[in-house]
Structure formats: C-alpha cells, structure tokens
Structure 1
Amino acid sequence: MKLADLDNPVRASWLADQSFRLDPGPYISDSYAAHMFLKRVPRTEPLGEVTSGIFNAGRFKRHWTTDPEHGVPFLSSADIFQADLSTLAMITKKCFRANANLALEPGWTLITCSGMTAGRVTYARLDMDGYACSQDVLRVVPDLDKIPAGYLYTFLASPLGIPMIKGGIYGTSVKHIEPSHIVDLPVPRVDADVEQRIDSLIREAMVLRAQFQTGITDATHDLFKSAGLSELIDFNWHDQPRDVDFSVSGLTSTSLRALNFSPRAQRILDALHSVPHRTLGEICATGQLGRGNRFTRVDSDSKHGFRLIGQRQAFWQRPEGRWIALKSVEAEMVRAVDETVLVASQGTLGDSEVFCRPAFVTGKWQKEFVFSEHFLRIVTGDSGYPGAYLFAFLRSEAMFRVFRSMSTGGKQQDIHEGLRRQIPVPECAPADRQRIAETVKQAYRWRDEADMKEDQALALLDEAVREAAR
C-alpha cells in the first residue's frame, strides 16, 4: 500500500487541479506531489531557462575497434553509472568525429532516456571528458551564468527531481523520455551561498572519483611492473592469434572443455608461471574461495532491512539494490568481510557482460551491504597477500580473460572450481605487495568520501528547499 507523504499532504487545491477526482492515484503520484510541493517554493525557474541545451546524440552508425590509437571510449546508458571506466568498449575516431553531439563534458547531468531504466540520473565525471556517449542518454548542459552545474545535478538527482523526470516517461515495452518532456520542469532556486556550497561538494566528489579511477589503475600497473610482467599491462585479447586448430595432450578428468585450454589464456598463465608465484588456492586456503550462501529473499524497507547487492549493481558507482529482511545470523552469512574480492561468477560470455569481473568490498560497502550468492568470494588467508593486492591483480584485463577461459556450465556459465584454485598469483616483494594494497585501499577511501560529499549535497538541498517552501 502506498500512502501520501505526511510532509506534503494532499491539499484542496490539488482536488481542483484534478477536476475534483476522488480516486487516490493522482494524489499519491510522486511526480505530481513533487510538482505541487515546488509550487510552495517562492522562486522556481523552468529547466530550459537555466540550461544551454538538453539533447541526445541522435542515431548514428557504430563502428567498433579494439585499438586505443584509433578508438574513443564509448559509454552506453548502463556504463555511465559504472564506478570503473577502464573496461569500456571503443568506437572508431572516424565514427566519433562524424557526430559532434557524442562527446561529453564534465559537469553535465546525464539522464537515461530509453529502455526500462529510463529516468536514472548521474553526471559526467572528470574522467569522462571527451568520451562518446549513447543516444539513449540525455545531456542536460547547465548555463553556468545562471546556475551552478553541481546544484542543478543535485536537484535533478534528488527525491524531487527524479520523480518529475520519470513523470515524463511514455511508451509501453520500451520507455522513452524526450527533451521536450522535461524542459518545463521547475527548478527551485535557493540562497546563492547554499547553491554554491552544493556545487562545491559535487565538484569535490568529481575530483575524488577521478582519483579513485587513477588509483586502482595505477595499482594494477604497479603490480605487473613489480612482478616483471609489463607485457600484461596493456594486454589486448583481440590482438592475439585466434584459438583455432590447436591440440592438447595429457588431459585429466579435471576438464574436457576446449575453452578451458584456450591457447591465448594459456600464454597468460605461462607468463605468470614464469615469475615467482603462489596459487590462489594456497593463498585462500584458510580464507575463502567459493560461492556465497543461498538464502530466501523477503522484501523489506530501508528502516528494517538490508540492501542486497547483486552482480549488476556491484559495479555501479552508487548501488541501488533491493531491501530484504534477514535475521541477524543470516545477515552475517551474506555480508562480506573487509577486503573481500567479489567476482561475478554466473553469466554469459559477451564482452560487455560482468561475468568474471571483480569488485572490492571495504569501508562503507562492507558495513552497509549484503551480497547475493552469485559472487565468487575471494578472501585471503595469508596476511602477506592482502585482499586489496589480490584485487589489483584480478581486475586486470589479462585475469578477466583467464577467468573467462575457466568457464563451465551450460547457458549460465560458472568458474571452474578446480581450475580457479590453480591460478598463479605473482609474489612480488613484500614491500611491493603492501604498497600496491595501500594504493587500492586509498582509492576506495576516496570513493567513500565522494559518496559522502554527494550525500551532504543532497541533504543541503533538501533542507534549503523545505525551508523555502514553509
């Protein structure tokens, strides 16, 4: 059952606005309630008047490449929410130059405008500068002479902005939002100092997110350089000879699947075996190297439940998992210990799928979230090989391809239990391992701080708008 917000009750003027309809639907609509609430704010301006443009890129032919020298990273309507942008596909520079509307600039507000997730909001980060972006994403370009970019984003991403954006959705099986549907959306204006404080928080969050991306990338590069495996830093799977016409001898009952003996993957493993190493099974012998526990999902709310993160949400910048009810014992079973590496371990083999991609759990994530059983949980049992160090290794493109080569199963793939234990992990020097681990942990501290600043910006906006509406 859905109830009207007690802070924003149904008013007599609403009845008149809706021709005195007495059915509850219009009055408990989040979009309608937000519009009515903002009418109480002394000063609002239409979105179209505080922006220099609201547009999408339009349809265009996509020509793909795997060569960074000839490509531009491409963001789909799902990619704009990803925390780690290092695994993006690329379109050719020729294709990119043919459409001037493809490129993003930091500070723009991005709104998904097609599909079942239409109406989700984020912003173009510093490390998205110059990236190409799908036509399924609206770009809201702030007029900086009229409104701070961070303030505009915070409003559009707030509990007031999102319902009004989604109120413009049309369509049946495929949802859509057009620029004309949101151009008249009322933007509340509050004290200029408050707007600038909110903008400053968002700009600081953008810098921290860029530092996060740089930190985890540098940690992986540092690991391979320290191990004497620089050739694996910019490893390009598609540049390797194809896995055709090869033979394997000495087979055992471990596996008979051809994919598990991929020559391309075997060359990576041979390189890892050529340096001092320990197997992943040895490192996790007294830790964990297995799937999570299964459990019954019972929907709950944020006051009484736990936020469950699945394979897709684990890679988002700000996860939006469902709330479920769990007993305290169950919650501890599905919570991840600090510095757990979670590898998406069920899925299919498309290059854009998350199957075999790793996520790292520490800080706020470890305290606030529980995780589905569809992850391979990697917990070190050796303090000399911290979880952060393992993550820096496992997030590499080379290890993604090794995990993929260990696939087993039918439609939904899994990672072979025996083969994953045999993965060689470079030893490096103890000082190198600690330095690399600290780089990863610092990156995740920056990420948590960025989340905190965005939350502070939303809280400031909520307080200022409610004060203005009194």
Structure 2
Amino acid sequence: MSGAMEARELLHQLTARKDHLQDLTKGGISGIINAGRITRLWVDDSQHGYPFLSSTDILQADLSNISHIAKSVAHQNSQLLIRDRWTLITRSGSIGRMAYARADMDGMACTEDVLRVIPDENKVKSGYIYAYLGTRFGLPIVTSGTYGSIITHLEPHHIAHLPVPRLGEVEDSAHELVQAAADLRSEASKVIEASTSGLLKELNLPALEYSDVSQLGWSSVSSANLKRRLDAPYHSPAALEAEAAIKNGRYSCERLSTVAERLFKPPIFKRLWVDDETYGRQFISGTDAYLYEANEPRFVSSRTPNFEEFIVKRGWVIFQAAGQIYGLFGRPLFVSGWLEDIFCADDLYRIVPKTEVDGAFIYLFLRTPHGQVLIKRQASGNSIPRVWDPHMAEFELPWPDESVRRQLAGPVVGAHDQIAEALELERQAVQLVERAIENGAR
C-alpha cells in the first residue's frame, strides 16, 4: 500500500471535481473486466486462432512471436478479446503494470491475468484514463486494492471507486500524447513487419516447412558433420532446411564474424547494487530488455569489474542467449531509445555492427523464421541452453551489397526512432497529469 494513503490525501485536497472510475467506464463497473479463467487451447496460426497476449506481452514492443489461442476458446468467452484505446492492467503476480491498447492489438485475445478498463468516451478521453492511472497518484491506489498474502490479485471492485480528478484541457492534452504514442508504435510495428517480408522476398527465401529445432523429426547427416556438433537441434530438419534455403538464395552468405565489428558475451558477474545512477548505471535483465522500458529501474555499481563491457550502444543487436529455446531465446533487439548506453545482463549476446544500417539488417534477418531457426540451432546444453562465441563466429547469413542492405534495413532504423519517441510522449503525458494535480492541490 506504499503511497496510497498519501495519494488519496492529496487528491482529497484537490479542488477539482473527482469522479469514480466506474462512472467513467462503459456500462459502469461492467466496463472494468476480469475475463475469468479460460482453457488454453493452442493453435499454430491466425486462421484457427487469435494472437494471445500474456501479462508480459502487453508491455512488449514486438508482438510478432506471440502464441495463438483457438478461436473456439474466444467464442466461449467474448471478454477474452480486447480493443484499442482500452487500458490494460496486470492483476496477478506483479500487479499494476499497464499498457494502452494500440491499433495493432485490436481484436487480439488477452490473458485473464489482465484487467480491461474500457472508457466511456462520451465522458472521458481514453488516453487520459491511462495516463492518470499510471501517475504516482493513480498507481498506488490501484495496487493498494489487491488481496492475497503470497499471490496478489486485483478485481474490478477494488478500483471501481478509485477517484479520477477532472482536469479540463489537461485531459485532452494527455490523451493526445498517449494516442500519438500508440499510433507511433503501431506504425513502427507495421514498418518492421513490412521490412521483414521485403527482406524475405529480396533474398528469395522460401517459406519453411519446419520452424522448430526441437520439433520431433529425423534427418540424415554425414559423420564428418558430427565432429564439432553432436547435439540434435543443430542437425534438426528445421536447421538443415533453413541452412539450405540461405545457401540457395539470391545472395551469397558471409560469416557474421566477418561482416560485424565484434561478437561477444560478457562474463558472468556479481551484481553490486547501488541506489541510483550517481554511483553506476541502470541495469536491465534479459527479460526487461524486450519491454518498452524496465518495470522497476535498478542500478549496478560503476565499480563492477569489466563495467564498460556490459554497456550496449545504439545500433548494436542483442538477443537472449541463455534459457529455453521456446521462450525469448534468440529473439533479436535493435539497440535504440531507452536501451542505449544501458548496463545489460550477461545473458544478452552482443553483435557490434560496422554501421548502424548493418546492425538493422542483421536484426531484420535474425527476426525472420530462417534467422530464428539458425540462431536457436546454436544453443548447447540441456538444463539451460546457451550460445557461445565459437558458435556465433561461424554463423552465416545472406549478405547483399551495401545499397541493398540500406534499402531493406533503412526503414527499420526510423521505426525504432518512432518507438523511442512514443515512450517519450507517454512519459510527457504522465508528467503533465502529475503537475496538474500537484499544482491544483497547493
């Protein structure tokens, strides 16, 4: 309940009118939805299912790799599907994490571990509701309503009477900032997806019959090919098919170690935590790196051995290089925005390109089905699979000339600038609302 009493007291001092949240949602409290428990029946594609957002997925920039839940499940529970402009709040485990549903989320299914707040747009702007609930006044009240001693939960009635101050023109301005951020993210997502499709077409890479290196299957390989790698995923049907596809593509292949400036993974290190960036740098884990921003900023000491080796720079490509290969393992990130100059965990592998556009091209290839298979085949180890430098040094990818790389990957750099701008706009919206409340309560 940290901060909840103080927030309520300050809101009480505010002379502006205050409405209950349920008075601003569509249909009253029925506009704050807990979808209820569901049966998870997974399918392979969008023809038979809906993209399914977990409580972590709603906070991620890239939604291209999420699972699909059967349409029959959604037909049994229509509250499973979400619409754009809704505010989504995690309600179980790490509660109170929020996302504003953008256009490319519209019609997706979402876990029951996320509350849906549906604004009545005849009464309030959707972006303002999201911005206010994310302030240091709204958020503590949201989280103070939870129950449970070990696993906390949030229910609609816990936040139904949450006070929402009416701030006039500030509401309009906050909404415009939040909506602009959502639009930028949707546009960036479209650009990245279009660029990925364009790359596959330009490289003349066919669709893969197999896309999972851990899928049950068999393959025949020469005994000479078993001298260096004996692990089955490396020689799986998916790996061999992807390898053959790039070898027979339009452009010749080069080793990643040849076209990149450097490939490395920092050593495992002891975490020396400090209070703030005065004494070090913000730290992100291999999970937080995939979010729009870290959920809870933490800082690691500048006295950490090999400190500079952990700092990632704009234009680099990083990916999760430890963990189960069906999760985040191998999914690439193009370093930009809030990730620039941040202290990244040692489980994130680093690819340092020779130019920013080269970094964007490498990122683009690695996110294709072919790139993903070829990265995942590199994993070794049974308990916690990992990727090591010798594996990546021999990794090959198609490498067209500079003009083609720039044409294919240039838009990706701009898309990531849009993602960074969106985060800044969202922060401005929250700060705008906070200042209005602070000034009004004096």
TM class by smaller structure: over 0.9
Query: TM (normalized to structure 2)?
Result: 0.92
Distance 1:384 1:357 in 2: 19
Count of residue pairs brought into register by the alignment? 433
Residue 361 (str. 1) matches residue 335 (str. 2): yes
Distance 2:306 2:440 in 1: 44
Does the CA-based 8 Å contact 2:74-2:109 persist in structure 1?
A: yes
Question: What percentage of aligned pairs have identical amino acids?
Answer: 32
Relative distance call for 1:302 and 1:219 in structure 2 (3 A) is farther
Q: Over residues 107-145 of structure 1, what are the superposed CA-to-partner deviations in whole Å (9 max), with x where a residue is unaligned?
A: 111111112x12211111111000001111100111111
Correspondence list, 1:135-154, <5 A: 135-154=112-131
Answer with 1 or 2: which has the greater Rg: 1
Relative distance call for 1:380 and 1:182 in structure 2 (3 A) is same
Distance 1:133 1:51 in 2: 19
Structure 1: 5+ residue runs without aligned partners? 1-25
2:291 maps to a residue whose letter is W
**Which of 290, 295, 309 pairs up with 1:315?**
290
Does the CA-based 8 Å contact 1:283-1:385 persist in structure 2?
A: no
Does the CA-based 8 Å contact 2:213-2:237 persist in structure 1?
A: no
Matched position secondary structure for 2:312: coil
1:394 CA displacement? 0.7
Correspondence list, 1:134-213, <5 A: 134-190=111-167, 192-213=168-189
1:65 maps to a residue whose letter is V
Does the CA-based 8 Å contact 2:219-2:235 persist in structure 1?
A: no
1:456 maps to a residue whose letter is Q
Does the CA-based 8 Å contact 1:260-1:406 persist in structure 2?
A: yes
Does the CA-based 8 Å contact 1:226-1:428 persist in structure 2?
A: no
Distance 1:226 1:140 in 2: 43
Matched position secondary structure for 1:256: coil
Matched position secondary structure for 1:413: coil
2:347 maps to a residue whose letter is H
Correspondence list, 1:16-415, <5 A: 29-42=2-15, 43-52=17-26, 53-115=31-93, 117-190=94-167, 192-231=168-207, 237=211, 242-244=216-218, 246=220, 248-275=222-249, 276-284=252-260, 287-304=261-278, 305-320=280-295, 321-327=297-303, 331-349=307-325, 351=326, 353-367=327-341, 369-381=342-354, 383=355, 386-415=358-387
1:271 maps to a residue whose letter is A
Does the CA-based 8 Å contact 1:122-1:157 persist in structure 2?
A: no
Does the CA-based 8 Å contact 2:353-2:359 persist in structure 1?
A: yes
Q: Over residues 92-121 of structure 1, what are the superposed CA-to-partner deviations in whole Å (9 max), with x where a residue is unaligned?
A: 222222211011111111111112x12211
1:430 aligns with 402
Relative distance call for 1:41 and 1:332 in structure 2 (3 A) is same
1:17 aligns with none
Query: TM (normalized to structure 1)?
Result: 0.87
1:78 CA displacement? 1.3
2:285 maps to a residue whose letter is G
Matched position secondary structure for 1:111: strand
Relative distance call for 1:416 and 1:274 in structure 2 (3 A) is farther
Distance 1:384 1:443 in 2: 13
1:281 CA displacement? 2.0
Matched position secondary structure for 1:266: helix
Relative distance call for 1:444 and 1:50 in structure 2 (3 A) is same
Relative distance call for 1:398 and 1:173 in structure 2 (3 A) is farther
Matched position secondary structure for 1:139: strand
1:241 CA displacement? 8.1
Distance 2:301 2:156 in 1: 39
1:83 CA displacement? 0.8
**Which of 445, 448, 455 pairs up with 2:420?**
448
**Which of 402, 411, 431 pairs up with 1:459?**
431
CA RMSD of the aligned region, Å?
2.2
Distance 1:452 1:241 in 2: 41
1:91 CA displacement? 1.0
Structure 2: 5+ residue runs without aligned partners? none
Query: Structure 1 residues 81-90 or 295-304, which shifts more?
Result: 295-304
Matched position secondary structure for 1:465: helix
